[in-house]
Amino acid sequence: MLKLEIVTPEKKVFDDSVESVTIPTASGQAGILASHVPVISALKPGILTIEQKGRSERIAVSEGFVEVSGDIVSVLTDSADTPSEIDATSARADKDAAEKALAAVSTSSLEDTRDLRIQLELANARLELIANR
């Protein structure tokens, strides 16, 4: 078993023992099981999946960091939303706004559009999360 903590600047979102967790990192999806090697990685916007007591729980997360040390997984993120916390209309509006803003600066460098791309990735993750509720 792993101890998983998910923390945002506003609150502790999750703090419990889990069987596994799959985390969206900058280098792809990372599946974490008990006795995982120590790791520190950048978190990218996406869906974090928790396996606990034979059930799956999914949470949309934003940028941040993940640290695995022993059997403790700490996720520090700017935001973490469960499906019940996401407003579909607001998530669609966020996606549309990010797409329009990116289109307006389409000739800018990747570095200049980084924040807009992150906003779009988070909006897409939130919409994906609520698509099946």
Please identify, in words, the CATH class of the domain defined by 2-81.
mainly beta
Least confident of 29-33, 103-107, 117-121: 103-107
Of residues 78 and 133, the one with the higher pLDDT is 78
Q: Is the pLDDT of residue 132 over 90?
A: no
Between strands 80-81 and 39-43, the pairing is unpaired
Output the pLDDT for position 52.
94
Residue-wise pLDDT for 39-72, tens only, equals 999 999 999 999 999 999 999 999 999 999 989 9
CA distances from 96 to 60, 79, 82, 122, 133 (A): 18, 19, 21, 12, 21
Q: What percent of the chain has pLDDT over 90?
A: 83
Q: Rounded to whole angstroms, what are the CA distances from 6 to 54, 97, 114, 121?
A: 20, 28, 24, 19
Residue 133: its pLDDT value, please?
61
What's the pLDDT score for residue 37? Answer: 92
